[in-house]
Amino acid sequence: MGYSSDEVVKALRRLGFEIYKKRGKGSHIVMVKKDPDKTRIVVIPKQKELKKGTLSSILRQAGITFEDLKNNL
């Protein structure tokens, strides 16, 4: 079973990310996390189930592991 964009957004919010800009009917969600040393920007396509490669890219952008994602759902 894969993860939906809504589930990923929920987990990233718990990890300190915020939605960058509220967009009306866009096909992507942009999230940001500002740390003292780095600002991380993550782009998530709105999909019912994210492909494995897309999810890997999102996790890499966010600087988190798959375990971090699972633990924050």
* Mean pLDDT along residues 37-47: 93
pTM for the model stands at: 0.87
Predicted confidence (pLDDT) at residue 57 exceeds the cutoff of 90: yes
C-alpha distances in angstroms, 47 versus 5, 9, 41, 60? Answer: 6, 11, 19, 18
Encode pLDDT of 13-41 as tens digits: 999 999 987 665 678 999 999 988 999 99
Mean pLDDT, residues 55-73: 94
Would you kindly state where each structural domain of the chain is located, as residue ranges?
5-71
pLDDT at position 22:
65
- At 40, phi and psi to the nearest 5? -105, 130
pLDDT at 70 (0 to 100)? 92
CATH number attached to the domain at 5-71: 3.30.920.30
